[in-house]
Amino acid sequence: MAQRVLVTGGSGFVGAHCVLALLQAGYEVRTTIRTPARAADVRSQLATGGLDDAGDALTFAVADLTSDDGWAEAVAGCDSVLHVASPFPTMQPKDENELIVPAREGALRVLRAARDARVKRVVLTSSFAAIGYGHPPTERTFTEEDWTDLGSGIPVSAYVKSKTLAERAAWDFIAREGNGLELATVNPVGILGPALGRDYSSSVQLVKSIVDGRLPRLPRVSFGIVDVRDVASLHLLAMTRPEAAGERFLAIACDVMSAPEVALLIRGHLGTAGQRITTKVMPDWVLKSLAPFSRTVRGALPDIGAVRRASGAKAQRMLGWSPRSREDAIFGTVDSLAAQSRQGA
């Protein structure tokens, strides 16, 4: 009998790829959705990913990070849990607790339910946001031993706070009341790769803005890149490998790239169709002048000019994880967005 895995947030960008990878590997999958109507979104994304009919191997449970309702039923009979769901807004909220509370309390709800259902292991989708922020400029490379410093006085976004506090709370829960439940975390950098639906990561949103020509100038930001398919495969390794219990794993495929460097690769990939894509950089003073009028811009200011390097060596060494190249991740994003555009035309 196939093992059953619960994936929270199966209609999201990373969640859908995790569901797809599990089903292709022969697992039974139950995934949480906020409303029954989102089941159609999950099935549509699986079809885009090449799985037209999951049959009885895929089931759904309605549960929300902000409520206890439905979580006991969601985890019942599951051997493992991939807790992928987390709030990720397109703009900074007025109140940071709109992100922090559901991220932290949602993680604890999932862990309590998993413990009570005698689940063997939970893999939590955390982020590099919980590792490399709140530190002064440095040339060192961040690893899984590092934590974001929320008490340094260096500004960080509400999203960074939410991911840091949620992961901290998860490890504290395991230490104090996990009762044998195992935990591993996957901490991706900027996630690109094929978009199966229109629930994008912020990195995919940036690529879409570049491709659509909506940015006359690019912000002076740099970030690491990893393909969403490799993020999903790392979740499976962290779920199944005995040595992954109690460990954090950074998911990164390459050194940091600047937004203009990403744009330049996209221009080359698209050929003549990419000539409208700019590689020019927006002056910092322009962004700062816009900050009083935009929460999104204000939230991005701490990232302007910052270069935060990270290493994915641990996952490769310990688990044999082998990520795709940055070109595969970027071009996979661009090609999937083009396919969506053709379908919507």
Q: Is the dihedral of CA 252, 144, 8, 161 positive or negative?
A: negative
| Cβ neighbours of residue 288 closer than 8 Å, sequence gap 6 or more | 301
Q: Identify which of 76, 58, 57 has the alpha carbon closest to the alpha carbon of residue 11.
A: 58
- d(C-alpha 273, C-alpha 253), whole Å: 27
Q: Which of 94, 161, 163, 208 is catalytic?
A: 163
Identify whether 94 is a catalytic site residue.
no
* CB burial string 99-121: b at 16+ within 10 A, e below: bbbbbbbbbbbbbbbbbebebeb
Q: Identify which of 58, 59, 53, 2 has the alpha carbon closest to the alpha carbon of residue 27.
A: 2
* Integer angstrom CA distances of residue 259 from 2, 167, 229, 296: 43, 28, 22, 17
150 phi and psi angles, rounded to 5 deg? -85, -5
- d(C-alpha 78, C-alpha 49), whole Å: 24
Q: Identify which of 126, 134, 253 has the alpha carbon closest to the alpha carbon of residue 187.
A: 126
DSSP 153: S
User: In which residue are the tokens 């409303």 written?
Assistant: 35
Q: Could you list the active site residues? A: 163
